[in-house]
Amino acid sequence: MWRWLLFVWIAGFIVLAFTWAPLVPVLGPTTRVLYFHIPAAWVTVVALGWSMLHSVLYLRTRRMEHDDHAAAAAEIGLLFCITATVSGAMWAKAMWGAYWNWDPRETSIFFILLIYAAYLALRAAIDDPARRARLAAIYSAVAFVTVPFLIFVVPRIYFSLHPDPLLNTRMKPDMDPRIVVGFLGMLVGVTGVYFWAQQLRVRVVRLERRLHLI
Amino acid sequence: MPNARSGFPAAVWAILRKECRSEWRTRYGLNAALLFAVTSLTGVSFAIGRLTDRTDVLSALLWVVLLFASLASLSHAFVREVEGQTLTFLRLVASPTQIAIGKLVFNLLFLAVIELVTVPLFVVLMGAPPVRWGSFLGLLALGSAALAISSTLVGAVISQTRGRGALFAGVSFPLLLPVLAAAVSGTKAQWAGNSVGGEVRLLAAYAVALLAASLLLYDHLWED
């Protein structure tokens, strides 16, 4: 039931964003990438934080379900990270003329991709489930330490061409309120998609383990 | 060796002494790392010659050579215990945090020795212009600290997996990319005569954050 609600919600806000919300003068039609790109980047941080949270919980309680959550969140976070990277690269091609030119934002998100790809590589190299859960949790907790640096610190130290429309240095949105409405709606919708995917993935992992036991 | 009653610093000191002594007996890690550093330097220097005016290339090459030389040996501290089957004994006499901090200090010393050889050789061979000592040594120290902290933790994790050697570089390199990026851009800035404040703060904050996370996680390194 609420899956359909999510579908209608996102579809509605996409229509809203494309018909009702105005375009930002300099950005032109590329304004609309913000309804997908920023929520994807936001969900990346949420998912990786979720992975870190459950890693810490695993280390405290040693319950395998926390490891399921941590692994699923890292996998899905990586997918959303790729989405944000690719949509950003497409926008960069339209605005800056090149898909990739190592702008601080591009560099940061690429580092995050590599760090969490290493997390999956580490998991793949350990056979014993309890040991895999423990070592992966240690790595995931350390890996998340780098995320605030890469997302929030680096782009503010080095000069970046990346627009900062929502959380700019004055900490207030200087966008048209209609864009803000569309953006926040998409943010909620995409976050909903993430938690739906997360719950599906955790269920799959659990079923796989039960199958393994039989 | 320390016993259960000896204090925290005493245990760390004992681990550090034991690391230095066993490294000195064979000098296996040190020889490998120095040979690696000198060989890669030779390769780089032979291929492109002296680069007095390209400080941007020089800073990148310096850190790549340092990183590769040290990455080859930094995981050794824990892998050696696993391969020599001495880890169980070590865990009997010290807590995981004491062991890890002792090995972290050892890795820092190890890096200092490698840099003591590699950096002067690099400056001479590549014809690098004179560095600004304050900024340069600061960047070198902070970069090495971050490198040692992250590779001590990753080394301890990796020593418990299959295919330890190959995986170590693959898993620790992504965590070190921010360090490499900041150190290279700082080294470039000090050669260009610009301020390195941003890079120094970034490296220091990164090292402190990694250390804080490590200290919280060391206790979970071994269970079985």
Inside any domain, residue B138: yes
pLDDT at A3: 86
* Number of domains chain B contains: 1
Inside any domain, residue B148: yes
- Ranges in chain A, pLDDT < 50: 167-171
- What amino acid occupies position B50? R
- Distances in Å between the alpha carbon of A11 and those of A6, A15, A177, A198, B222? 8, 6, 20, 21, 49
CB contact under 8 A, B163 and A125: yes
Inside any domain, residue B210: yes
Structural contact between residues B152 and B107, judged by C-beta atoms closer than 8 angstroms? yes
Tell me the pLDDT tens digit for each residue of A81-112. Answer: 999 999 999 998 988 888 998 888 888 899 99
Pick among A139, A150, A152 to test the B interface (most B CBs inside 10 A): A139
Pick among B104, B157, B196 to test the A interface (most A CBs inside 10 A): B157
Inside any domain, residue B2: no
Give the structural domain span for B20. Answer: 8-220
Q: What ipTM was estimated for this complex? A: 0.88
Tell me the pLDDT tens digit for each residue of A143-162. Answer: 999 998 888 777 777 777 77
- Taking the whole predicted model, whether its pTM rises above 0.90 is answered as no
Tell me the pLDDT tens digit for each residue of B27-52. Answer: 888 888 888 888 988 888 888 888 77
Inside any domain, residue B1: no
Nearest-CA distance from A125 to chain B in Å? 6
